[in-house]
Structure 1
Amino acid sequence: MSAQPARTTTLTHRDADWASLRVLVAGLGLSGFAAADALLERGALVTIVDAVAPAAGTPMAERAHLLDLLGASVHHGPEAVAGLPAAAPDLVVTSPGWRPDQPLLAAAARAGVPVWGEVELAWRMRPREGAAPWLTVTGTNGKTTTVRMLAAMLQAAGLRACSAGNVGTPVLEAVMDPQPYDVIAVELSSFQLHWSHSLAPRASACLNVAPDHVDWHGSFEEYARAKGRVYENTEVACVYNVEDERTRRLVEQAEVQEGCRAVGFTLGVPGPSELGVVDDVLADRAFVAERATTAAELASLEDLGQGPGAPPPHLVANALAAAALARAHGVPAAAVRAGLRGFVPDPHRIAEVGVVRGLRWVDDSKATNPHAARASLAAFEGVVWVAGGLLKGAEVDELVAAAAPRLRGVVLLGRDRSAISEALARHAPDVPVREVARTDTGAMDAVVEHALALGREGDVVLLAPAAASMDMFTDYGARGDAFTAAVRRLTGGG
């Protein structure tokens, strides 16, 4: 067992006694680097390990060199992550992707060495007084869009705010910023929540829970339990999805601070203590004085600015969740509207590529699991669906059955395309299906040509793969870029 197993219990703020604390940082990604850098600045004795030796000239090699100059002990290779060193550390800080059964982390658990994620470290690195409150968001889908909408609303209210966490700025960087933030919108994955123990957010939200990352967590129940940790110790409001009963149950199971409320969001007319939609208005019946009889208008669907037609339902849901968190922090209705009007979605999230040859082409390459793809497909009528990739064991029958009435045709690519093809044969046998077996750089051109042949004027060709991309592409962004480029080549523009 570590020589100082109780020492970490006193480390509740950045001015605590971090000096000479022996810390092993697992992983040399952005979060690992941020953790090691912050710990070195506080005088900790840092060892950082990674299974992969970085290639010369890469960002990882540069990070390793800088940490070496700052005094860290840097080790690479399989042997570096096979277990704890002979002199056990006082603390292990792990990157979020490392599974609990990874040998080094399992050895730490057996030895009684505390294991924190970088989010837990960030929480404990906040200043003793005047720390910026956190508004936290998790969910199987929609997290990034929601935290970015939330940050836009907070900024529209005149607050110095940012989005941080799972995607983008590591939350530790936001916490340690020399110019302090007034409030931080924090996106949390199930991995990050698994390794977090003492967070106490101002307000928190779980957008939805659907099967994902079961291989990492061991079961869907454990995955859902990790998502539910977002609500623990919440101060003002736990925001849940009225249409996803599991999120309500997670709120009911959470230990929260005295006076914390449950606040729902719904695509229907809101009841008391809910935000929802009345006609084309986003309405608040949770953060108004007479919520039993009145509502506040926050914005209109038009303020979401999604081009032709109504915004997709899942985008409206994200906006409502973000608004609930903002309102819990005291943001006025006018700032909610201003934030939504100024919000620009990230690339590859229901991104309009254009209208080419009578068809509307939409890139939602970020729909990397069946739950996300189902939400994307529900936004359109008359769809030529482009799908396939790495399903990671996910089931697609429910997705295909729900989408069948709106499908004009389907174009499949990627390693697990046969699983989707078989589901289509069961649930949509009359829908024409084309498969692209090639995996070279011309594969997406073949996809686009098939989609062009299957579609009718006014239809939407929707890239919503329901699968990860790494069988053919470096990431979902590269997949979306390839789709966009292929569409533009139809017009001779690329």
Structure 2
Amino acid sequence: MTVPTSPNPGAAFAGLAVTVAGLGVSGVPAAKALHSFGARVTVVNGTAGERQQAEAAELEALGIAVRLGDGDTLPEGTELVVTAPGWKPSSPLFAAAAAAGVEVIGDVELAWRLRGPDAAPWLAVTGTNGKTTTTRMLAAILTAAGLRTAAVGNIGVSLLDAVLGDEPYDVLAVELSSYQLHWAPGIRPHSAAVLNLAPDHLDWHGSMEDYAADKGRIFHGNKVACVYNAADPATEKLVEEADVEEGCRAIGFTLDAPRMSELGVVEGLLVDRAFVPDRRDKAQELAEVADVQPPAPHNVANALAAAALARAYGVPPGAVRDGLRAFRPDAHRIAEVAVLDGVTYVDDSKATNTHAARASLTAYDHVVWIAGGLAKGAEFDGLVRAAAPRLRGAVLMGADRALIREALARHAPQVPVVDLERADTGAMSAAVAEARRLAAPGDTVLLAPACASMDMFSNYNQRGDMFADAVRAALPDTAAH
């Protein structure tokens, strides 16, 4: 089912029998939007907890049918399925849809199909790590250029709200996860970036090849630029495999001096050799590395990717600088908490996989590492091997900490390790106390767990908050900042 942009794109859904798979932050808006366009909507959800019952009551009051406790059965007569992004492709509901010849799309694809004729173009961002930071940097740069924009998709404003709301946007900065891209076969961004590729969510996708293929969907149909990481050949391969509009260019970003058609770094400056008239012989200064906060290498790479997308849209150099200066990262992303006795304490609780943790560890010369949690099937040998020269100690906690401990024994046997067996509410305070004992002036105590948090915490935010609280509790009153 392909719905072309028209003066009234919602009319294509009038009278259509649509099953929405899943409630929550994507399912409820999708169901309401479809209902408003005259679709006959049924929502199915596998669980029937208190939150789901409240959401169901809200939808039923509008005349939308809801089936709780049964997410496997395809309602009779369904003509289209719109799914929440987290539902696995292997779900029985989708097998039933395939057998019946019924298309399955996600809420991102639905938003794309509901765009009007004057819809704002999408500048899209994906990658294993750095998506949110890059998308928010991009939105800050676009705002500095005087454009009406928002960070949407996997963060901020929902795409459906952005597309259907009254706010007229000039351009949208769109973060897309691999889950969302899997269910979005028809989107065609103005320009897009894949920041990096590393094994993640393989239990959902089934293989690294399928995961990469879903990420690569973001390049299909691009009009102006496909932005890739020159240090990650897998991202360039996705560009090479993409079916793009004629004239669309491959644009790289690098932490080294840029080649032609790249953005990079020269003597402390972010420079552009891609969107300048004479890119063979000249480069345009965009900003200083010091304008990126924090100026850790992987964050500078994020800034270059955001700048590339903004430049692809025609943003002037000064707006790149002003936007990066105005941008402040979200909490729990390489955030300095405090300095105590010459030791810097940094919260990167958002480093929930090995790729993110490696980027964080390489930002500091001497590290006492707090790590562990739910490994999600990851292995840690490569991470520990790369980090070993920087490690002054490690404090391990969480369900799968033994995997990290064993990797440390193999590749960094000289590094002192504290293995915390406790999982109570005081565990993080104990971890900080042990890290403080191991650290010397000039070191960084870094919370970069390389694991998910749900074995001990509600989410990575709570884990980071408890780390910061434990650090601040050790500070003299005058030292906290």
- If the length of structure 1 is used for normalisation, what is the TM-score? 0.95
CA distance in 2, matches of 1:45, 1:267: 52
- Match of 2:61, SS state, is helix
**Does the alignment pair 1:434 with 2:418?**
yes
- Structure 2, unaligned runs of 5 or more: none
Number of the residue aligned with 1:34: 29
Is 1:43 the counterpart of 2:38? The answer is yes
Partner of residue 308, structure 2: 324
**1:338 corresponding residue in structure 2:** 322
* AA in 2 matched with 1:380: Y
Question: Do residues 84 (structure 1) and 79 (structure 2) align?
Answer: no
Aligned to 2:474: 490
User: Residue 158 in 1 paired to residue 146 in 2?
Assistant: yes
The Cα shift of 1:50 comes to 1.1
- Is 2:462 the counterpart of 1:478? yes
Give the whole-Å Cα distance in 2 for the aligned partners of 1:300 and 1:193.
33
Q: Which residue of 2 aligns with 1:64?
A: 56
SS at 1:161's partner residue? coil
SS in 2 for 1:115: strand
Q: Which moved more, 1:465-474 or 1:9-18?
A: 9-18
CA contact (8 A) 2:84 2:106 kept: yes
Aligned-partner Cα distance in 2 for 1:73–1:357: 61
Give, in whole Å, the separation in 2 of the partners of 1:189 and 1:11.
24
Residue 282 of structure 1 corresponds to: 270
**3-state secondary structure, aligned to 1:401:** helix
AA matched with 1:37? K
In 1, Cα distance between the equivalents of 2:354 and 2:67? 39
Q: How many Å separate the matches in 2 of 1:406 and 1:122?
A: 46
**Partner of 2:12 in structure 1?**
17
Partner of 1:391: 375
Residue type of the alignment partner of 1:39: L
CA–CA distance in structure 1, aligned partners of residues 80 and 339 of structure 2: 55
1:220 to 2:208 alignment? yes
Aligned position for 1:254: 242
Kindly indicate whether residue 89 of structure 2 is the aligned counterpart of residue 97 of structure 1: no
Alignment of 1:443-462 (within 5 A): 443-462=427-446
| Deviation of the 1:64 alpha carbon | 2.3
How far is 1:167 from its partner? 2.5
The superposition leaves residues 374-418 of structure 1 with CA deviations (integer Å, 9 ceiling, x where unpaired) of: 000000011000000001111110000000000000000000000
Partner of 1:401: 385
Q: Secondary structure at the match of 1:105?
A: helix
TM-superposed CA distance for 1:31, in Å, is 0.8
SS in 1 for 2:290: helix
Partner in structure 1 of residue 405 of structure 2: 421
- Distance across 2 between alignment mates of 1:15 and 1:115: 18
Deviation track 1:230-286 (CA, whole Å, cap 9, x = no partner) reads 100000000000000011111000000111000000000001100000010000000
Q: Partner of 2:209: helix, strand, or coil?
A: helix
Aligned partners of 1:10 and 1:16 also within 8 Å = no
Given that residues 364 and 463 in structure 1 are in contact (C-alpha distance below 8 angstroms), is that contact kept between their aligned partners in structure 2? yes
Measure, in 2, the Cα distance between the counterparts of 1:146 and 1:9. 30
Following the alignment from structure 2 to structure 1, what is the Cα–Cα distance between the partners of residues 277 and 234?
29
Contact 1:83–1:105 under 8 Å retained in 2: no
The answer on whether the counterparts of 1:241 and 1:248 sit within 8 Å (CA) in structure 2 is yes
Tell me how far apart the structure 2 counterparts of residues 16 and 205 of structure 1 sit (CA, whole Å). Answer: 32
Which residue does 2:184 correspond to in 1?
196
1:176 partnered with 2:164 = yes
Residue number in structure 2 paired with 1:347: 331
- 1: distance between equivalents of 2:319 and 2:147? 10
Contact kept in structure 2, 1:408 and 1:454, CA below 8 Å: yes
Read off the aligned partner of 1:48 and give its amino acid letter. Answer: V
Cα distance in 2 between the residues matched to 1:190 and 1:322: 19
Structure 1 residues 337-376: aligned runs within 5 Å: 337-376=321-360
Q: 2: CA distance between counterparts of 1:42 and 1:63?
A: 20
Distance 1:161 1:376 in 2: 30
Per-residue deviation, 1:130: 1.0
RMSD: 1.2
| C-alpha contact 1:35 1:172 (8 A) present in aligned 2 | yes
2:106 to 109, 117, 124: 117
Cα shift at 1:107 = 1.1
Structure 1 contact 50–81 (Cα < 8 Å) conserved = yes
- Provide the rounded CA distance (Å) in 2 between the counterparts of 1:17 and 1:213: 34
CA offsets 1:435-487 (integer angstroms, 9 cap, x no match)? 11111100011101100110001210000000000000010001001101111
Instruction: Describe the SS at the equivalent of 1:137.
Output: strand
Number of aligned positions between the proteins: 476
Kept in 1, the 8 Å contact 2:123–2:192? The answer is: yes
- Counterparts of 1:220 and 1:150, CA distance in 2: 28
Aligned partners of 2:407 and 2:263: how far apart in 1? 36
8 A contact 2:11–2:37 mirrored in 1: no
SS of 2:278's partner is coil
Distance 1:10 1:140 in 2: 30
Name 1:3's counterpart in structure 2. none
Mapped to 2, the partners of 1:110 and 1:492 lie a distance apart of: 66
Tell me which residue corresponds to 1:4. Answer: none
Give 1:40 shift. Answer: 1.0
Shift of the alpha carbon at 1:180? 1.7
Report the Cα distance in structure 2 between the residues aligned to 1:305 and 1:227, rounded to whole angstroms.
27
**Cα shift readout 1:286-338 (whole Å, capped 9, x = no counterpart):** 000000011111000111143xxxx1100000000000000000111111111
Q: Distance in 2 between matches of 1:199 and 1:90?
A: 20
Cα distance in 2 between the residues matched to 1:485 and 1:429: 31
Q: Counterpart amino acid of 2:225?
A: A
| Range that drifts further, 161-170 or 244-253 | 161-170
C-alpha deviations, 1:340-378, integer Å up to 9, x for none? Answer: 000010000001101023210000000000000000000
Task: For 1:490 and 1:177, locate their aligned partners in 2 and report how far apart those are by CA, in whole Å.
Answer: 47
Q: Distance in 1 between matches of 2:188 and 2:12?
A: 22
Given that 1:136 and 1:188 are in contact with CA atoms closer than 8 Å, whether structure 2 keeps it comes out as yes
Match of 2:229 in 1: 241
CA distance in structure 1 between the partners assigned to 2:448 and 2:53 by the alignment: 35
**Corresponding residue number in structure 2 for 1:273:** 261
